[in-house]
Chains A and B, each alone.
Chain A
Amino acid sequence: MRKLLFQSLVQMPLTEAAPSADDKALAELGASLARVTRRRLGRSLSIREVDAGSCNGCELEIQALGNAYYDLERFGLRFVASPRHADVLLVTGPVTKNMRMALERTYNATPDPKWVIAAGDCALDGGCFAGSYAVVGGVSAVVPVDLHIPGCPPPPLAILRGLLALLEKVSAG
């Protein structure tokens, strides 16, 4: 273990912070995201993820935000275990009828001010599951949505961009 830890000290970090030719987008995003977050909410923004019926594809990409390449927490963004601690609900999936109540209760348990991001194509309008006897529809059919991030699933960079867009909308309003 010592060897691995030592290597981490002497190697360049994998985190894509420094501006580079091919990944300029993420670096720009990082700087402005941190600035806006700090102005609006001090130093941090807490996110509670809610799977309201997804296939788990979106969850995989949201989890990837925590890896060394994206390192979400450097922006002051972090995932929290309880809606009571959250500023943002990040909701995935078409909302199934069996998850409607759980989503409503999670929303109601989140203190104001709060924002809802619907992530993934299903979260917009139910996607390919729309019209099923077991599906309510998109997230906005159950709770008010501030922003939608498209994709099936949206890649981690798109989710980061979405978080930025939300912050800009919030600061403008």
Chain B
Amino acid sequence: MAGIKTLIGKGTMAQNHRPWPRAVVTAETWAGAIAGLAAGQWNLLGLWGEPACVHMALLDATDGEIAVLSLDGASGRYPSVGLHHPPALRPERTIRDLFGLEPDGLPDPRSWLDHGNWDLRHPLATKPSSVPIEKTYAFLPAEGPGLHQIPVGPVHAGIIEPGHFRFTANGETVVRLEQRFGYVHKGIEGLMTGATIAAASRLAARTSGDSTVAYGLAFARAAESALQIDVPPRAIYLRALMAELERLANHLGDFGAICNDAAFALMLAHCGVLREKVLRIANDVFGHRLMRDRIQPGGVTGDISSDDFTTLRALVADIAARFPALVDLYDNTASLQDRTVSTGIVTTELVRQYAAGGFIGRASGRAFDARKNLPYAPYDSLAFDVPLLDAGDVNARVWIRIREIEQSLALVTQLLDRMPEGSIRSNLPAAGKACEGMALVEGFRGDILVWLSLHPDGTVARCHLRDPSWLQWPLLEAAIEGNIVADFPLCNKSFNCSYSGHDL
């Protein structure tokens, strides 16, 4: 099979797109890429629009090659990817909502992020229309005797984000779940257009609060690729330190919260304490509990002292001492396992088709972790394992998190042991000419893609942020099918997808 380079070799290569190539291709090559996606040859990393152009990022899972294909959309139409490759359905509905570009043949005519409340249509198009779309929305039908519908949200019962879930159930059994999102759409990509790098970095760090470090890092790496600057080694290590602390805090929180959704509150109590310890020390060391805005294009905002090393080592020792008892508790509580084992199964075929990352992909047999598969510094020189399971149920997603907590603890120690000396920030040069950068960073939830195009004056021409949730949310619809309604909170928490990261 021809590689990804052969595929884009037919197109016109974009100058100044780094680190992976981008090519402007013909409709014929675009169709070839769609055929490759449908055949499982490529993974779809992202699909996004510009006012007169659509881009798709592809990954060749066999050799880790990445390329971006761009197709001219000046006519206002382009051949639909979603027609042949379902993971592209929601991105294409979004491109239509935001830019008014019509995917020819897209089987779903409904809007996605646009609910008819924006006072305009196609907000990111060159010329938005002042007539909003209709507010009505038709959910997919499910017909049969004894079926009933349960609408849930957007305001949910817990302290969580808003989204709508439409269940069709037969008795207790879920026949169909349909999600409807867009409630927290803030127009982040619209606000970024024309913004300075500093302002755009702030917005990126507020795309999904639980992944604020990962987003800050992804945006910074994309900007640094575009501007071709190197970051001092110490800053690279400090960034990874923050990224691993963020992963630890989130996985600890999830472990407790998943068990709590199976009515096992003891685990939440203990994990909540460990999570709080991580956040407090993050606050002591980095000056912010979630470490927000600490990563900036060029480096990091603050250094750490020798006392901070001691504090962080003590934190690792403390968690390492307390965590095994909680793992034993999970492993030896039959009533809890009864809820998690064989609940909410996602098949390997589906995670491969959707290129779903994070614990969702890795619990269903897709061995992908951007830190390992597309290694970026400092992970290319650190020793760690990427845990992999194939059961694909809630239990497997719990175990992936448990193993990743252990790996992150070991990574924090390695980062502290090898912390280089030196400066923590490089100055950003003036762009001077139009340039583009791209980054793929492993957040706690999965791989975050940032694609950034800069004007010659250094302001943002276009920035696209693809949350891992885009590739994971649709799988929740599949996971819950045939399960009981009461297991939905458990399945949903085991996914823990981001609403804000998805809605942008």
In the complex, A59 Cα to B257 Cα: how many Å?
14
Chain A stretch 112-132: residues in CB contact (< 8 A) with chain B? 127-129, 131-132
Contacts of A88 in B (CB 8 A): none
Q: In the complex the two chains form, is B290's CB within 8 Å of A60's CB?
A: yes
The contact size tier of chain A is: 35 or more
Q: In the complex the two chains form, is B276's CB within 8 Å of A67's CB?
A: yes
Q: In the complex the two chains form, is A56's CB within 8 Å of B183's CB?
A: no
Minimal Cβ-Cβ distance residue in B for A99: B183
* Any A CB within 8 A of the CB of B270: yes
Contacts of A76 in B (CB 8 A): none
**If A56-B498, A67-B275 touch, does A98 touch B209 (CB 8 Å cutoff)?**
no
B431 to chain A, nearest CB (A): 22
B318 to chain A, nearest CB (A): 13
Contacts of A135 in B (CB 8 A): 186-187
* Any B CB within 8 A of the CB of A37: no
In the complex, A129 Cα to B185 Cα: how many Å?
10
Minimal Cβ-Cβ distance residue in A for B271: A67
Across the interface, B186 reaches (CB within 8 A) one of A68, A79, A96, A101, namely A96
Q: In the complex the two chains form, is A96's CB within 8 Å of B183's CB?
A: yes
In the complex, A53 Cα to B500 Cα: how many Å?
8
In the complex, A43 Cα to B276 Cα: how many Å?
28
Across the interface, A54 reaches (CB within 8 A) one of B191, B209, B283, namely B209
Q: In the complex the two chains form, is B206's CB within 8 Å of A99's CB?
A: no
Q: In the complex the two chains form, is A99's CB within 8 Å of B184's CB?
A: yes
Looking at chain B's contact residues, the main secondary structure is loop
* Any B CB within 8 A of the CB of A41: no
Minimal Cβ-Cβ distance residue in A for B333: A1
Q: In the complex the two chains form, is B272's CB within 8 Å of A67's CB?
A: yes
B121 to chain A, nearest CB (A): 10
| Chain B 242-284 per-residue mask, 1 if CB under 8 angstroms from chain A, else 0 | 0000000000010000000000001001101101100100010
Q: Which of A5, A51, A153 has the most CB of B within 10 A?
A: A51
* Any A CB within 8 A of the CB of B343: no
| Chain B 153-174 per-residue mask, 1 if CB under 8 angstroms from chain A, else 0 | 0110111111000000000000
* Any B CB within 8 A of the CB of A81: yes
Q: In the complex the two chains form, is A59's CB within 8 Å of B160's CB?
A: yes
Contacts of B275 in A (CB 8 A): 64, 67
Q: In the complex the two chains form, is A81's CB within 8 Å of B158's CB?
A: yes
Q: In the complex the two chains form, is A134's CB within 8 Å of B186's CB?
A: yes
* Any A CB within 8 A of the CB of B212: yes
19 A-B pairs (CB sep. < 8 Å): A1-B329, A5-B266, A55-B500, A56-B161, A57-B206, A60-B253, A61-B289, A64-B275, A64-B279, A68-B272, A94-B186, A96-B184, A98-B183, A99-B184, A128-B206, A133-B119, A152-B292, A155-B283, A155-B289
15 more CB-based (< 8 A) A-B contacts, given A79-B158, A133-B187: A3-B325, A54-B184, A59-B159, A67-B269, A67-B273, A68-B273, A79-B159, A98-B115, A98-B184, A100-B117, A102-B155, A132-B188, A134-B185, A135-B186, A155-B283
